Structure 1
Amino acid sequence: MYVEIIMQEQSTSRDARQIVQDHLNTVKAPLSDAELAQAKARVKALLERENAVLVAHYYTDPLIQALAEETGGCVSDSLEMARFGAQHSASTLLVAGVKFMGETAKILTPNKRVLMPTLEATCSLDIGCPADEFSAFCDAHPDRTVVVYANTSAAVKARADWVVTSSIALDVVDYLDAQGQKIIWAPDKHLGNYVQKQTGADMLLWDGACIVHEEFKAQGVETLKQTHPDAAVLVHPESPESVVALADVVGSTSQLIKAAQTLPNRVFIVATDQGIFYKMQQLCPDKTFYIAPTAGSGATCRSCANCPWMAMNALDNMAATLESGANEIFVDKALGERAMVPLNRMLNFKNKPIIILSPGTRAPVRSGVMFQGSMVALVTPMHSNGDVDWDALRKLVDWHIAEGTHAIVAVGTTGESATLNVKEHSEVITQVVKQVAGRVPVIAGTGANSTSEAVELTKHAKAAGADACLLVTPYYNKPTQEGLYRHFMHLADAVDIPQILYNVPGRTGVDMLPETVLRLAGHKNIIGIKEATGDLVRARQIIDAAPADFLVYSGDDETAVELMLMGGKGDISVTANVAPALVARMCALAIEGQAEEARAINEQLMPLHSAMFVESNPIPVKWAVARLGLMPDGIRLPMTPLSEQYHQRVAEAMQSAGVL
Structure 2
Amino acid sequence: MPVVTVASLKGIYPPIATPFADDGTLDDNKMISNIKRWSSATRLSGIVCQGSNGEYVLLSTDERVHQVKIVREHMPAQWQLIVGTEAGSTAATIDMTKRVAAVGADAALVLTPSCYKSRMSDEAIISHYTSIADASPIPVILYNMPANTGVDLSVAAICHLARHKNIIGLKDSSGNVVKMATVRKKTDKNEFSLLAGSAGFLLPALSIGAVGGVCALANIAPQLCCDIQEAFDTGDFHTAMAHQHRAVEINTAVTSQFGVPGLKYAMDMLGLHGGPCRAPLVRLTDDEKRKLDAILRDSQVQHTERIHDR
Residue number among 4, 11, 18 corresponding to 1:380 in the alignment: 18
Deviations 1:99-136 (Å, cap 9, x if unpaired)?
xxxxxxxxxxxxxxxxxxxxxxxxxxxxxxxxxxxxxx
Task: Give the direction of change, closer, same or farther, for the CA distance of 1:632–1:526 in structure 2 (3 Å limit).
Answer: closer
Deviates more, 1:486-495 or 1:585-594: 585-594
Deviations 1:228-278 (Å, cap 9, x if unpaired)?
xxxxxxxxxxxxxxxxxxxxxxxxxxxxxxxxxxxxxxxxxxxxxxxxxxx
Specify the alignment match of 1:435 in structure 2: 74
Q: CA deviation at 1:589?
A: 2.1
Residue number among 523, 533, 558 corresponding to 2:174 in the alignment: 533
Deviations 1:141-175 (Å, cap 9, x if unpaired)?
xxxxxxxxxxxxxxxxxxxxxxxxxxxxxxxxxxx
Query: Using the alignment, how far apart are the partners of 1:492 and 1:395 within structure 2?
Result: 33
Identity of matched residues, %: 27
* Secondary structure of the structure 1 residue equivalent to 2:58: coil
- Does residue 470 (structure 1) correspond to residue 109 (structure 2)? The answer is yes
- Does residue 480 (structure 1) correspond to residue 136 (structure 2)? The answer is no
Superposition RMSD on alpha carbons, in Å? Answer: 1.6
Residue number among 63, 87, 108 corresponding to 1:448 in the alignment: 87
Equivalence map 1:560-575=2 (5 Å): 560-575=202-217
The 8 Å contact of residues 449 and 477 in structure 1, kept in 2 or not, is answered as no
Equivalence map 1:280-319=2 (5 Å): none
Specify the alignment match of 1:628 in structure 2: 270
Query: Using the alignment, how far apart are the partners of 1:477 and 1:622 within structure 2?
Result: 30
Deviates more, 1:412-421 or 1:476-485: 476-485
Q: CA deviation at 1:653?
A: 2.1
Deviations 1:479-506 (Å, cap 9, x if unpaired)?
2221111110000000131111000011
Query: Using the alignment, how far apart are the partners of 1:438 and 1:632 within structure 2?
Result: 24
The 8 Å contact of residues 449 and 476 in structure 1, kept in 2 or not, is answered as yes
The TM-score, its normalising length taken from structure 1, stands at 0.44
Q: CA deviation at 1:615?
A: 4.1
Equivalence map 1:151-170=2 (5 Å): none
Residue number among 394, 399, 414 corresponding to 2:53 in the alignment: 414
Query: Using the alignment, how far apart are the partners of 2:281 and 2:232 within structure 1?
Result: 34
Specify the alignment match of 2:96 in structure 1: 457
Specify the alignment match of 1:613 in structure 2: 255
Query: Using the alignment, how far apart are the partners of 2:113 and 2:216 within structure 1?
Result: 21
The 8 Å contact of residues 567 and 591 in structure 1, kept in 2 or not, is answered as no
Residue number among 527, 539, 553 corresponding to 2:195 in the alignment: 553
Specify the alignment match of 1:397 in structure 2: 35
Q: CA deviation at 1:616?
A: 5.3
Query: Using the alignment, how far apart are the partners of 1:437 and 1:374 within structure 2?
Result: 15
Query: Using the alignment, how far apart are the partners of 2:193 and 2:60 within structure 1?
Result: 30
The 8 Å contact of residues 565 and 591 in structure 1, kept in 2 or not, is answered as no
Q: CA deviation at 1:437?
A: 4.4
The 8 Å contact of residues 533 and 555 in structure 1, kept in 2 or not, is answered as yes
The 8 Å contact of residues 17 and 274 in structure 2, kept in 1 or not, is answered as no
- Does residue 581 (structure 1) correspond to residue 223 (structure 2)? The answer is yes
Query: Using the alignment, how far apart are the partners of 1:598 and 1:463 within structure 2?
Result: 39
Equivalence map 1:166-565=2 (5 Å): 341=1, 355=4, 366=5, 369-404=7-42, 405-478=44-117, 479-549=120-190, 550-565=192-207
Letter in 1 for 2:74: Q
The 8 Å contact of residues 18 and 274 in structure 2, kept in 1 or not, is answered as no
Letter in 1 for 2:287: Q
Specify the alignment match of 1:289 in structure 2: none
Task: Give the direction of change, closer, same or farther, for the CA distance of 1:473–1:581 in structure 2 (3 Å limit).
Answer: same
The 8 Å contact of residues 446 and 471 in structure 1, kept in 2 or not, is answered as yes
The TM-score, its normalising length taken from structure 2, stands at 0.91
Q: CA deviation at 1:643?
A: 2.2
Letter in 1 for 2:90: T
Query: Using the alignment, how far apart are the partners of 2:12 and 2:54 within structure 1?
Result: 16
Structure 2 gap ranges (5+): 303-310
The 8 Å contact of residues 568 and 591 in structure 1, kept in 2 or not, is answered as no
Letter in 1 for 2:248: M
Letter in 2 for 1:604: R
The 8 Å contact of residues 380 and 388 in structure 1, kept in 2 or not, is answered as yes
Q: CA deviation at 1:629?
A: 2.8
Equivalence map 1:106-145=2 (5 Å): none
Q: CA deviation at 1:632?
A: 5.1
* Secondary structure of the structure 2 residue equivalent to 1:524: coil
Q: CA deviation at 1:444?
A: 0.8
Query: Using the alignment, how far apart are the partners of 2:277 and 2:143 within structure 1?
Result: 23
Letter in 2 for 1:374: I
Q: CA deviation at 1:594?
A: 2.7
Deviates more, 1:456-465 or 1:649-658: 649-658
Deviations 1:360-416 (Å, cap 9, x if unpaired)?
xxxxxx55x422111101001112332211101011111111222221000111100
Which structure's residues are more often helix, by fraction?
A: 2
Structure 1 gap ranges (5+): 1-340, 346-353, 356-365
Deviations 1:314-371 (Å, cap 9, x if unpaired)?
xxxxxxxxxxxxxxxxxxxxxxxxxxx5xxx6xxxxxxxx63xxxxxxxxxx55x422
Letter in 1 for 2:105: A
- Does residue 658 (structure 1) correspond to residue 296 (structure 2)? The answer is no
Q: CA deviation at 1:431?
A: 0.9
Deviations 1:201-254 (Å, cap 9, x if unpaired)?
xxxxxxxxxxxxxxxxxxxxxxxxxxxxxxxxxxxxxxxxxxxxxxxxxxxxxx
Equivalence map 1:634-649=2 (5 Å): 634-649=276-291
